[in-house]
Structure 1
């Protein structure tokens, strides 16, 4: 094994491990097995290295060694270690052995890892196939990970492993197309949101649809010592598990990530009221259909159920109940009700929220009249995996002192890098958006500061082209030059015709 391991080394092993499953089961499923194995390997290698260090330090004094190990981030029994699993790789019961190791790891670290592995089954016939095929895949998976050391002394910065984990989540989102990547936030879009909310030390930071936790980690990284409190909620249990592991791999041990439907069952509460946060970021599912079904007492007839503001004990929908087929403003209202005084939030949304009427128009008008909207930023199309839908970012603030709204149109060419399958924001594109937001100024064909009177004149329609004129006038056509070009082409054509005629005579045709 190499003395030093780089992120590209880890990435290569992860992608090779993914090849074990590719073509056999869907990538949106097998990513859980690969990333869980990375986590086990990391914990095992770190624990093993520290055991060696303590054994030398205390001259083999078992009592002192065990006392030192008990203060480690994770407690690890031998039968739950990667090395033990690797030694058992030819065992016909290997799937069940891995499951027992995960259960033991949870039991030994119940405060940190409770329920983290509950949604993954290494012995599942329905997912991994019959015994022979399943065992073959698991053996290959263990052998792939055995080729690399993730000991802290070899890897160096802990972020190397965390960044590899992040890289794989992004690759899987790309690989899975729309199914796996529709709501994954690309890293540079996450970076943009993180910089827009400008988190401060000791802030509570919240993502109500936290996915794999990548966006929360980006926000935490804005604070040099990461001294912030991280909160999140995720409806998909497997994804919430991945998010928890993601936090640990990035050195965040105290994140509070809950599993459940944020709209129908928000789980971050204080004194039976919604907890308040200084910074909120989110990339909720676009225009979520049936978003309110969690409020229905009788779920036997979806079509008869009609959401009413009175059904929500937290009174989040008093400004208006969003349409049943579009949950965008349900998430926005939840976030605004969860935002602390002087707090700020930034969320990614489809452009429809800027101009759709009916109940959404009513909610939008209320938000504007309460002076909560700070900026609207139009993003380039094709930034998100599996969908070409252009999105926008809406930035909200409590206790605003100004009564205007900044509009930025960052969607035109030159403001992003074109890619074959996906467009990307570059560092300079992010800087331009953030600087424009911070200076809050009108820039020709890029940004515009609209007064509240202008917005009212537009019937509270926030469609960006109403405020930022990006129309490029074409240069006037020089008719004399066109006429001269036509005459030159005619002369060339006559010359060619004469030559053709001479060739035909020479050939006797």
Structure 2
């Protein structure tokens, strides 16, 4: 009987492979090398297993087998497989050999993989050190992956590799601290957003700051048939490559993941206008400074002032967010990308709920247009690299209600406290989703506020203004306290008297 790998075994082997780099390179950098190697090993093992099956089927007819292999999901040849690279592991130019193999994989799979490895250099002296150090690390990395058999027939579950990739990214994000939050949203937060927006068959699903793609994948997986189109954009080139590989490893081959600045240069365009989406999910960078610099022309950036007229897509007609805080820039982009009847959920810092000036005017416009559906307060310390509490804003086009639901899940008991990071459990997620779907007031947890109430609060959405979580303390019986103090004083006097007698006996 063929031994099969469990999810835990695959995860453990992969995490141990990181020992090659630990202490030498920051995990926010070396993650790219480990995850690319995982991708290459996986597609190579699929290639190898399928070729073995076809050779058996066609009696070792090499020509027939190669013809059949050309229809594979990914096309490889012998000089671009993991085994070929591994056999060259002791050569002095192993870094360049890996680069050439990756380039060859891209060339053989232009439609799917064009540019996916563009931002990673296995021969980089500035990152991996001098030739001797670099060759040693790459040799050990290849040896770490050699015995990990990722052929589909050896894996217990269909999603082992996709899950392993997510596991690795989550661990890298935790390890990388603040930098980790730039490319990964905790799985329970991704799960919450995907349940709130309820993706449906044939929806277009969009994330304008998609990172490694975890939010998009969660949303996509809510559609049993898998009939939906994924769109994303990511400014960081390495993270965009991770996202594309993540999609392939989750069997999403037609995701359209663009590379660029979503605000200054949105790349999902239709008929010269922003493309429209039925579902939008996002965890944008919190309060991004200088978010509008992509609109600045040549000259002194310090003199640049963002204006509504600079945006050809007219996203800032409701107000221009402050240059030092880009939260509403992303919100406005997403709202202008939302199709009729579309649903949108976005993670944001609490400041968007109450900050004034231009942000206050934007908030008022959004509320008056009846686009805001719910405000959900999350526990502190859920995200990598920041302990500040965040919130989820849910928006809908063509809303039936004329009110806004507020939910406060930040109180003790509504989440699991961790040593370094807090976590939303399944029961916590379900409590939030149930409250959202019922759209009713729940004492000390949820409150349905009318638009008039929000106007009375000057469009301030601070959750504590609406959800009363105040717990009355027990009444203090001052007479009993006085009696207790008298009793303690009496006991103290007796102890002091005894101590005096002991000291006297000792001649002290």
TM-score range (shorter-chain normalised) is: over 0.9
* Cα deviation 1:100-151 (Å, max 9, x = unaligned): 0000000000010000001110011111111000000000000000121001
Relative to structure 2, which stretch is displaced further, 405-414 or 20-29? 20-29
Given that residues 178 and 385 in structure 1 are in contact (C-alpha distance below 8 angstroms), is that contact kept between their aligned partners in structure 2? yes
Alignment-derived partner of residue 452 in structure 1? 451
User: In structure 1, what is the Cα distance between the partners aligned to 2:454 and 2:381?
Assistant: 28
How far apart are 1:180 and its partner, in Å? 2.9
Given that residues 76 and 105 in structure 1 are in contact (C-alpha distance below 8 angstroms), is that contact kept between their aligned partners in structure 2? yes
| Secondary structure in 2 matching 1:374 | strand
| Secondary structure in 2 matching 1:448 | strand
* Cα deviation 1:317-373 (Å, max 9, x = unaligned): 111111111111110010001001001000001111111111111111110110000
Given that residues 183 and 239 in structure 2 are in contact (C-alpha distance below 8 angstroms), is that contact kept between their aligned partners in structure 1? no
User: In structure 2, what is the Cα distance between the partners aligned to 1:494 and 1:366?
Assistant: 70
User: In structure 2, what is the Cα distance between the partners aligned to 1:241 and 1:184?
Assistant: 13
Given that residues 183 and 212 in structure 2 are in contact (C-alpha distance below 8 angstroms), is that contact kept between their aligned partners in structure 1? no
Alignment-derived partner of residue 52 in structure 1? 52
How far apart are 1:502 and its partner, in Å? 4.0
User: In structure 1, what is the Cα distance between the partners aligned to 2:49 and 2:221?
Assistant: 27
How far apart are 1:182 and its partner, in Å? 4.9
Relative to structure 2, which stretch is displaced further, 288-297 or 103-112? 288-297
How far apart are 1:485 and its partner, in Å? 2.1
Relative to structure 2, which stretch is displaced further, 188-197 or 289-298? 289-298
How far apart are 1:225 and its partner, in Å? 2.5
How far apart are 1:448 and its partner, in Å? 0.6
User: In structure 2, what is the Cα distance between the partners aligned to 1:104 and 1:323?
Assistant: 46
Alignment-derived partner of residue 70 in structure 2? 70
Alignment-derived partner of residue 480 in structure 1? 479
User: In structure 2, what is the Cα distance between the partners aligned to 1:384 and 1:370?
Assistant: 31
Alignment-derived partner of residue 118 in structure 2? 118
How far apart are 1:4 and its partner, in Å? 1.2
Pairing 1:410–2:431 present: no
| Secondary structure in 1 matching 2:159 | helix
Alignment-derived partner of residue 443 in structure 1? 442
Alignment-derived partner of residue 352 in structure 1? 351
> Pairwise CA RMSD of aligned residues?
1.4
Alignment-derived partner of residue 386 in structure 1? 385
Alignment-derived partner of residue 80 in structure 1? 80
Given that residues 211 and 239 in structure 2 are in contact (C-alpha distance below 8 angstroms), is that contact kept between their aligned partners in structure 1? yes
TM-score by length of 2: 0.98
Relative to structure 2, which stretch is displaced further, 244-253 or 477-486? 477-486
| Secondary structure in 2 matching 1:287 | coil
| Secondary structure in 2 matching 1:257 | strand
User: In structure 2, what is the Cα distance between the partners aligned to 1:467 and 1:492?
Assistant: 49
User: In structure 2, what is the Cα distance between the partners aligned to 1:64 and 1:453?
Assistant: 73
Pairing 1:236–2:217 present: no
How far apart are 1:270 and its partner, in Å? 1.0
Alignment-derived partner of residue 102 in structure 1? 102
Given that residues 51 and 69 in structure 1 are in contact (C-alpha distance below 8 angstroms), is that contact kept between their aligned partners in structure 2? yes
User: In structure 1, what is the Cα distance between the partners aligned to 2:272 and 2:178?
Assistant: 37
| Secondary structure in 2 matching 1:91 | coil
Alignment-derived partner of residue 141 in structure 2? 141
Alignment-derived partner of residue 461 in structure 1? 460
User: In structure 1, what is the Cα distance between the partners aligned to 2:132 and 2:467?
Assistant: 62
How far apart are 1:67 and its partner, in Å? 2.7
Alignment-derived partner of residue 418 in structure 2? 419
User: In structure 1, what is the Cα distance between the partners aligned to 2:57 and 2:109?
Assistant: 25
Alignment-derived partner of residue 224 in structure 1? 224
Alignment-derived partner of residue 180 in structure 2? 180
User: In structure 2, what is the Cα distance between the partners aligned to 1:145 and 1:336?
Assistant: 44
| Secondary structure in 2 matching 1:394 | strand
User: In structure 1, what is the Cα distance between the partners aligned to 2:370 and 2:479?
Assistant: 55
Alignment-derived partner of residue 21 in structure 2? 21
Alignment-derived partner of residue 261 in structure 1? 261
Q: How does 1:243-282 map to 2 (within 5 A)?
A: 243-282=243-282
Relative to structure 2, which stretch is displaced further, 57-66 or 328-337? 57-66
Alignment-derived partner of residue 302 in structure 1? 301
* Structure 1 residues 145 and 282, CA gap change in structure 2 (3 angstroms): same
Q: Gaps (5+ residues) in structure 2?
A: none
User: In structure 2, what is the Cα distance between the partners aligned to 1:488 and 1:429?
Assistant: 46
* Cα deviation 1:182-241 (Å, max 9, x = unaligned): 563111111111111011111110000000001111111111232211100000111000
How far apart are 1:26 and its partner, in Å? 1.5
Given that residues 284 and 347 in structure 2 are in contact (C-alpha distance below 8 angstroms), is that contact kept between their aligned partners in structure 1? yes
User: In structure 2, what is the Cα distance between the partners aligned to 1:396 and 1:181?
Assistant: 23
